Structure 1
Amino acid sequence: MNDKRRYVRVRPSGLVPRAGKIYADPKSPVMECQVIDVSAGGACLYVAGQAPIPKRFIFLHGSVKKSSRLVWERGRKIGIQF
């Protein structure tokens, strides 16, 4: 299989936090998520809860805050691009 990714993926370990958060705007509720893998250009997340996942949102991961967009969605597992 030929993987044509632009960036190398990193799976969370002891040095990369597994927990993250997303929110659409400062007044919207925060949604907890688990980071499955992350790269310089995006991430794969599992989003907790049943609330609809916004198309554009802020992704918080450790001390990093990234403006992000939803690229794909399979149930509660999503791919995002920063």
Structure 2
Amino acid sequence: MQNGEQVRLGVEHTGELREMQTDITQRLGITEDGYWPHVTLGLARAGFPRSDAEAMRLPTLDAPAPTLDMQQEMTATDFRILVKRPLT
């Protein structure tokens, strides 16, 4: 990982996620190829080796996420929410 790089946690790619993503992006006129569901944990404040990333403690499931947000990346650190869809 390099300083300023996004730290992302991949999420299991299910048919339900694929359907939700397609439904949302088609309405916005966006064509996605190779959709990879993930959660952005944040930006790295400093560079660190791959072994540290592999040893990172992952968040535990406490409850389902309240929403699924589709965001557009404006810059490396700024995003605009295009769609917020409740999951509960």
TM over 0.5: no
Give the structure with the larger helix fraction.
2
Q: TM-score, normalised by structure 1?
A: 0.28
Q: TM-score, normalised by structure 2?
A: 0.27
Which is greater in Rg? 2
**Relative contact order higher in (CA < 8 Å, ≥ 6 apart):** 2
Give the structure with the larger strand fraction.
1
